[in-house]
Structure 1
Amino acid sequence: MMAPRITPPTRRPYVPIGGGVENDSDIATALVWLATSSGDAAAFVARLSAAQQRYREVTASDAARGKDPSWSALGPDIVAAYLAQGKSLLDDRRSYDFALVSHVAPWLKQLGANLPALARVVGAPGRALRMLRNGQVLPDSALFELVMASNYAAEGFDVTFIEEGQGKTPDLRLFHGESGSELFVELKRLQRGDYEIKERSRHAEIFRQLEPLLHEQGLSIDVDVTYEKELADVPVDYLLQRVKRAKASPILLSGGYPWKDEFGSGLIRDANVAAVRRDTRDSYLYFGTKMARLLSGRVVSENNYHLAARASANPEDPRYVDQMKFGSVVTWQCIAPKAIERKAKYVRSKLSEADKQIAGHGRGIIHIAMDAELHSEASDLRRQRNLDALSTFQMNSQAGIVYLHYLVPRVSEDHSWLTDETVDVFSRFERPPPSFPAFPCATTLDNDKPAWRQRVHPSNA
């Protein structure tokens, strides 16, 4: 189990322009390398600065408060929006995003920490340039390739990116030792599935039906719901009707109003606005996961909550508030078997592609990376499906090792950014090799739980 965490700078100091969050010289080094690889460092910096300004504009309105933006919502230049989170960590708190930065900072930090090794990787600047030119494609796959190439170089391999030709080719060629034994590496990055994206969008619609009532009546309630049907089958006004019934009930229950029906179960109770007011007595509070935790009294998954509140915005940064008049939080999960099954996207198709790209070249290694959902049964099922797929898959190539990287970017109240990683190793050899993580210098968590089952204990409110 690996969890990269912010550490004090160990390289030359970097002086941020304006007010940054973390003076991390490795991230600064990575951005300088990317700027150089772009061929026009000034244009690269201007591109990221424009993305920062776009973020400020998108998140300036009251309507955007509490709604974590998607990459696509930040403009057509997705690559700039992505890399700008690294720049914002260094020089601009206003465009630094708690939910997005953990998808970016670990990769830039690892790239910067590996700079001497990265400089020895043949073709690395060209791979970076291709990523930077393709602005409408999320750069996480390219950064995975660059980081893993630099990791192999740091382990003493001579590493070369293989140029794409007419046929199928692996990503990397490795040489090691005086014998010059040759290995080929294929790197795959699984993206978040369409089903999961649509499920979140559907629940946003369900919450939007409820939200006007919360504002009209100034409600401070905590709603926790577990769906047992797929969200596509749940009425869009489901939560609205549940809250209306709870408010109309003549029975006062000290523990709140529980319910259970054909669609799921849940509990409606008073939200702990007093906890928010105590936290904001002498400061402002970010309108996000910590506020949701304070209102609900429980740890909140960054992907499965909604907030509605009225509070005074910080004039310098409207994402922060104080003097809360009312505040409500909705947390949700879906445990419908069909939903879990459809979210448990597994690796067989990517494994097949990687096998074909290594076939005919020689001995090989395959790395497949994927995001996993925090505290999720779908992530448990995905891992089991992957184990089953790897145990039965018939390789046509000479790929002898497969590494599966499960990544959990997360919001933390105590760290500038945080990502947990679990690596499963599959080998044809009698003695399997050790794990080869994306983040080899990360803190090792001393337990047997996978990344998505790790808990980060929040600070006291």
Structure 2
Amino acid sequence: MSQLSGGVETDAEVLAGLNWLASASRDATGFWQRIEAAQRRYRQFTLAPDNLGRDPELADLGPDLVASFLAQAKSLLDSRRTYDIALASRCVPWVKQIGVNASELTRIPGASERARRMLVDRATAPDGPLLELVMGGNYANDGLDVAFVAEEPGHAKTPDLHLFLPGSAEPVAIELKRLRQGRYEQDERARHRRIFKQAAAIIDERHLSLHIDVIYTKELMDVPESYLAERLSRFLASPLVILGAYPWRDEFASGEIRSANLDAVREDMRNTSLYFGTKMARLLTGSEVRSNGYHLATSGIPDNRDPRFMDEVHYASVVTWQCTAAEALDRKARHVKNKLVEAERQVQSAGIGIIHLAMDAEVGCESSDLRRERNKQAILQFQSESLLAALYIHYLVPRMPEAHSWLVDETVDKFGAGRDPVPSMMIFPGSAALDNDLPAWKQAVPFPPSGGSPDRQQR
């Protein structure tokens, strides 16, 4: 079997970020060995036939979450085979921003110790500590004097950073918190994988190329796991197809079944192989799909260099889905009140505090708008017991773009004391600003012409 050589692209700032973390670890040899072991685990995971087309979570790749996270940055540089299009935008931007701020981080008291603590705790989710390191570096990069606050066992939690201002006797306390996907969302996605699996069995048995689009109006826990399979069976037995589609509406959902555009996939694959993922789904449906809102069922011949890519497709079906049940939207639109109360307690030790809360949002998902509105309501109603000079809510949308190796969109909502304007502070300040007022989850990403995409491998 021939092997893919090299990485996806050369990025000096990503390399600088990895080198800074290796230095902070005080065991650079062990640091690189852990990351190379994570790359091997990723390769083993994707070789398993049951994982074909499955976008892995860090937890799927072994107990060393930190190494698996950082391995995506290293793979960008040196291993296309272990570079994951779904994970990259969740991992690489953080390491790159560490590299952007590497010289500043070296001078910030406590930064290396904060990084080392993250690296020692292999089971920790690294994007929380990396948020602290990145924002500490961003403040320093703006010419501000900051220091990480050491935690003292047995004492009340302290803020993450102290900001020292000229002429002020007391430092400003800065607290940073990373909000992650909730258990409800994880359970909902797992439930729909089971619903899809029963439909996929019929697709595979009949060699079907279909697009099934479904909008659930009930919570998925109330939807039978046989629901899509039963709807597909009714479609296959029905002589009625309206304008090329089979629509339905019932107590659980509304949806439509139509032929998938298999010709578009095959045309795109001429002289290349195609990644089994979002681009294939987009070609089958004719529109962008959400990274957490689709499933593929296909058969074909994989690229002998990389089983994640297909050389030839015999049939291919895609299921796109979302849940608009009021109960589901409400539970997914977690407001920030609890985290805000916790953060506010951690900055009370100082006279003035600044809080940054970062969370993911999802493209084309109604819960993203609802979550933002709930967050605003919670913040405006919040009664602070300390003087908060600024509160920032960072909404991050990691993408799986076809024209770039990775992409993350960021929208920041700023809240200040009184009517004083709050200065802009972004997690990724070097990103290009778009000339519109749409939030990150409503930004359109153009599709590239055929070729030159991370989703394709030239033969």
Shorter-chain TM-score bucket reads over 0.9
| Inter-partner Cα distance in structure 1 for 2:422 and 2:104 | 22
* CA-CA distance at 1:121 after TM superposition: 1.0
* CA-CA distance at 1:18 after TM superposition: 4.3
Find the counterpart in structure 2 of residue 81 from structure 1: 68
Find the counterpart in structure 2 of residue 456 from structure 1: 445
| Inter-partner Cα distance in structure 2 for 1:396 and 1:388 | 18
**Aligned structure 1 segments of 4 or more residues deviating by more than 6 angstroms:** none
Superposed counterparts of 1:224-373, under 5 Å: 224-373=213-362
| Inter-partner Cα distance in structure 2 for 1:180 and 1:316 | 62
Larger displacement relative to structure 2 (385-394 or 249-258): 249-258
Superposed counterparts of 1:35-434, under 5 Å: 35-165=22-152, 166-177=155-166, 182-434=171-423
Contact kept, 8 Å, 1:156 with 1:176, in 2: the verdict is no
SS at the partner of 1:443? Answer: coil
SS at the partner of 2:56? Answer: coil
| Inter-partner Cα distance in structure 1 for 2:268 and 2:112 | 47
Letter in 1 for 2:390: I
| Inter-partner Cα distance in structure 2 for 1:25 and 1:119 | 17
Q: Percent of counterpart pairs with the same letter?
A: 51
Contact kept, 8 Å, 2:240 with 2:246, in 1: the verdict is no
| Inter-partner Cα distance in structure 2 for 1:401 and 1:254 | 55
| Inter-partner Cα distance in structure 1 for 2:165 and 2:14 | 29
Change (3 A) 1:18 1:250: closer
For 1:323-380, what per-residue CA distance to the aligned partner results, in whole angstroms no more than 9, with x for missing partners?
2110000000100000000000111011101111111322110000001111111111
* CA-CA distance at 1:178 after TM superposition: 6.0
How high is the TM-score relative to the length of structure 2? 0.95
| Inter-partner Cα distance in structure 1 for 2:142 and 2:167 | 15
For 1:71-127, what per-residue CA distance to the aligned partner results, in whole angstroms no more than 9, with x for missing partners?
111001111111100000110001100000101111111110111211221111100
SS at the partner of 2:197? Answer: helix
| Inter-partner Cα distance in structure 1 for 2:116 and 2:336 | 28
Contact kept, 8 Å, 1:120 with 1:158, in 2: the verdict is no
* CA-CA distance at 1:252 after TM superposition: 4.0
Contact kept, 8 Å, 1:256 with 1:267, in 2: the verdict is yes
* Higher RCO (CA-CA < 8 Å; seq separation 6+): 1
SS at the partner of 1:99? Answer: helix
SS at the partner of 1:49? Answer: helix
Contact kept, 8 Å, 2:170 with 2:350, in 1: the verdict is no
SS at the partner of 1:223? Answer: strand
| Inter-partner Cα distance in structure 1 for 2:228 and 2:446 | 29
Letter in 1 for 2:329: I
Structure 1's unaligned 5+ residue stretches are 1-16
| Inter-partner Cα distance in structure 2 for 1:247 and 1:412 | 34
* CA-CA distance at 1:255 after TM superposition: 2.1
Contact kept, 8 Å, 2:170 with 2:351, in 1: the verdict is no
For 1:286-313, what per-residue CA distance to the aligned partner results, in whole angstroms no more than 9, with x for missing partners?
0000000111111111111000101110
SS at the partner of 2:255? Answer: strand
State the number of aligned residues: 445
